[in-house]
Amino acid sequence: MSTDADQQSTKGAYVTGGQGFERDTAYIETRITTDGADGYPVEPGRYRLVAARACPWAHRSIIVRRLLGLEGVISQGITGPTHDRRSWTFDLDPGGVDPVLGYERLQQAYLARFPDYPKGITVPALVEVSSGQVVTNDFPQMTLDLSTQWREHHRAGAPDLWPEALREEMEPVMRRIYTEVNNGVYRCGFAGSQEAYEAAYDRLFTALDWLEERLADRRFLMGDAITEADVRLYTTLVRFDAVYHGHFKCNRTKLTEMPVLWAYARDLFQTPGFGDTTDFAHIKAHYYVVHEDINPTGIVPKGPDLSGWLTPHGREALGGSPFGDGTPPGPVAAGEEVDPAHTPLG
């Protein structure tokens, strides 16, 4: 029987005695800001983003970093898609060691700052290169800070993903997406009773129906251009048929059977920064191998067929443009490409 610490390491959350899923959201809240109020000022080259392509929460930070053109300012380390109860590991790198931090495990960065760190080791994490210490793993705040605190270093034509004029409307939209969709699929997958599962299932599909309606007459969640809200929804949608529909029993309908959301997801997938950061092989390996309690055989399914992600979506008819008055990012930085065998874009 696994301990609470084991539950955190493998799921980033607890399953409570009530048999419902509760995510542990007590993150390291240190921020990297322009004024350096927390002791970590914005400074090119000072920090390394450690992320996993498999993880939806980390995928957000990979997308936002690319959309904003911060590749030359914040370096990126990618862990393997699976991990043990201790930590995510750098098994994709030569010798299994991150070439910048010199670490085999992300856990080493956490312990460098907090020698008795008691919680699960999560991605994404921003690590100070010189000290090798984790700065923050607060993923919701992390991407907002990339948009606001690092603005001086954004590429020309970068989108405004957190526009001030829309924040009041965006906040409840993003809150509902997080509680009902991003986290909702996990409530289904890790439910400890039939009652908890069915309640989670109903909440999830109520929210997906709401999104079908919201996106029927607008190209993106907040209107004519992408924002942080779209990034947050995309990372769940792109994993839906590959993982959540079967593995997490979110099986009322597949994404491909929800016409508006399927077209919307393809629109984003075909936008630079989204599909070219999506690694389906990593996604499937993570969920089906790491979650031994749900999939004890460790068998990773061959499907689904990914070719549909490249089919026309027709969303241009709604007007707007992904980058508004800006421009798309250029080619993926050398060495950061997704393996062509892991994506239909290859």
The catalytic residue positions are: 55, 186
Alpha helices, H only, the chain:
4-11, 56-68, 107-113, 139-148, 167-176, 184-189, 194-214, 228-239, 259-269, 280-285
- Per the listing, tokens 């992408």 go with 226
248 to each of 96, 208, 219, 288, how far by Cα in Å? 31, 16, 28, 10
The total number of residues shown for the chain amounts to 346
Are 77 and 88 within 8 A, CB to CB? no
Q: What is the DSSP letter of 85?
A: S
Are 146 and 68 within 8 A, CB to CB? yes
The number of angstroms, rounded, from the C-alpha of 308 to the middle of its chain's C-alpha atoms is 22
What residues contact 276, with CB distance under 8 A and at least 6 apart?
66, 332, 337, 338, 343, 345
How many Cβ atoms from other residues are within 10 Å of residue 73's Cβ?
20
Q: How far apart are CA 85 and CA 12, in angstroms?
A: 11
